[in-house]
């Protein structure tokens, strides 16, 4: 059996798009001053996609951007594409992590010329993750691909922090969660906001098994806020298929899921 991607990502993305509008990504341009870019959703199809971002950025070419992030991550290549789109933007890009910048969302955060961590916010980095079906050779091939992807991500973090790619990769392999102060101390951020900023939160519940060592607050909370991510944690698992499955389960629980 040849290795192939599971169709879960596309299936759950389709269900989500049929069931609820995407309202947690926006770009608001005022007459003067910087443009507010809000990324409060999963990264990829059904959430904040690279296509959405690039299309929106064309409308504010040359304007300074304030990018606010509260996201558990998602599709690694959409995250990299959004990172590159922000890096190439002709205006100044300032990033603020309001609650959580995990996985692919932490890559996006690295695009900021300045990166601010709100009080209580956290940043998580880890190795790339995937699902494959096939024989031993297929899984070995995917393992090699994942190591290549993770090495590229380590390069992005290394460029921002000044820490060697090898040292960053060790942090990724441990699926490291950083508090706001730790992110600043290790070069992933420049500033920790002094005042207590209450982050708006996308409603998502993290079930047991999605993350390797998620804090109890993140598993049991109905929304991810500063309080929900304040526990010091060590690791989390990133999977677009599971993330979109999570959306479907939550919509079903609330009775908002459109039947196929």
Annotated active-site positions, please? 103, 126
Count CB-CB contacts under 10 A for residue 7: 10
Cβ neighbors of 62 (< 8 A, separation 6 or more) are 90, 91
Q: What are phi and psi of 108, to 5 degrees?
A: -60, -40
Look-up of token digits 């000044």: 162
Phi-psi region of 187 (alpha: psi -120 to 50; beta: other; left: phi over 0): left
Q: What are phi and psi of 151, to 5 degrees?
A: -65, -40
Q: What are phi and psi of 95, to 5 degrees?
A: -110, 135
Phi-psi region of 71 (alpha: psi -120 to 50; beta: other; left: phi over 0): beta
d(CA 190, CA 28): 25
């Amino acid at each position: 059996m040849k290795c192939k991607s599971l169709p879960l990502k596309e299936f759950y993305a389709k269900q989500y798009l049929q069931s609820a509008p995407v309202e947690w990504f926006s770009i608001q341009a005022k007459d003067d001053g910087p443009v507010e870019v809000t990324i409060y959703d999963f990264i990829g199809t059904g959430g904040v996609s690279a296509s959405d971002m690039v299309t929106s950025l064309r409308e504010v070419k040359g304007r300074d951007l304030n990018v606010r992030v509260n996201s558990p991550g998602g599709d690694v290549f959409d995250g990299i594409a959004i990172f590159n789109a922000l890096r190439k933007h002709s205006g100044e890009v300032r990033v603020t992590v309001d609650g959580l910048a995990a996985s692919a969302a932490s890559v996006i955060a690295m695009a900021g010329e300045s990166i601010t961590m709100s009080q209580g916010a956290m940043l998580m980095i880890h190795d790339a993750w995937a699902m494959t079906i096939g024989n031993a050779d297929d899984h070995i091939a995917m393992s090699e691909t994942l190591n290549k992807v993770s090495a590229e991500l380590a390069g992005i973090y290394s460029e921002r922090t000044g820490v060697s790619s090898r040292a960053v990769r060790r942090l990724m392999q441990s699926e490291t969660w950083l508090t706001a102060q730790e992110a600043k101390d290790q070069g992933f951020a420049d500033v920790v906001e002094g005042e207590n900023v209450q982050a708006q939160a996308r409603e998502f519940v993290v079930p047991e098994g999605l993350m390797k060592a998620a804090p109890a607050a993140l598993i049991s909370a109905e929304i991810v806020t500063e309080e929900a991510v304040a526990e010091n944690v060590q690791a989390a698992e990133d999977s677009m298929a599971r993330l979109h499955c999570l959306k479907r389960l939550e919509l079903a629980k609330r009775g908002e899921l459109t039947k196929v």
